[in-house]
Amino acid sequence: MSAAKAVRTQVAIIGAGPAGLLLSQLLARSGIESVVIEQRSADYVLSRIRAGVLESGTISLLEEAGAAERLHREALTHEGIEIAFGDRRHRIDFARHTGRSVAVYGQTEVTRDLMQVRADAGLPTYYEAANVMPHDFDGDTPFVTFDLSGDAHRIACDFIAGCDGFHGVSRRMVPAEAITTYERVYAFGWLGVLADVPPVADELIYAAHPRGFALCSMRSKTRSRYYVQVPASDDADSWSDAAFWAELKRRLPPDLAGRVVTGPSIEKSVAPLRSFVASPLQFGRLYICGDAAHIVPPTGAKGLNLAASDVHYLAEGLREHYRERSDKGLLAYSNRALRRIWSAERFSWWMTSTLHTFPETDAFGRRLQEAEIDYLVQSDAAQTALAENYVGLPF
Contact residues for 198 (Cβ-Cβ < 8 A; gap 6+): 221, 222, 224, 261
HSE value, Cβ hemisphere, 13 Å, CA-based, for 310? 34
For residue 206, indicate whether it is catalytic. yes
Q: Catalytic one among 78, 209, 312, 321?
A: 78
78 assigned to active site: yes
Catalytic annotation present for 302: yes
Q: Which of 97, 134, 298, 321 is catalytic?
A: 298
Residue 376: closest CA among 358, 345, 354, 343: 354
Task: Reply yes or no on whether 127 is catalytic.
Answer: no
Going from the C-alpha of 41 to that of each of 12, 37, 168, 390, the distances in angstroms are 18, 11, 15, 33
Strand partners, 92: 81
Residue 163, φ and ψ in degrees, nearest 5:
-115, 35
CA within 13 Å, CB half, 211:
12
Residues 216 and 224 sit within 8 Å (Cβ to Cβ) = yes
Q: What are phi and psi of 78, to 5 degrees?
A: -115, 130
Helix or strand run (H / E) with residue 174:
none
Instruction: Check 97, 153, 302, 321 and give the catalytic one.
Output: 302
| 173 CB-near residues (< 8 Å, 6+ apart) | 133, 134, 137, 286
Q: Which of 105, 126, 186, 206 is catalytic?
A: 206
**Which residue numbers are catalytic?**
78, 206, 298, 302, 390
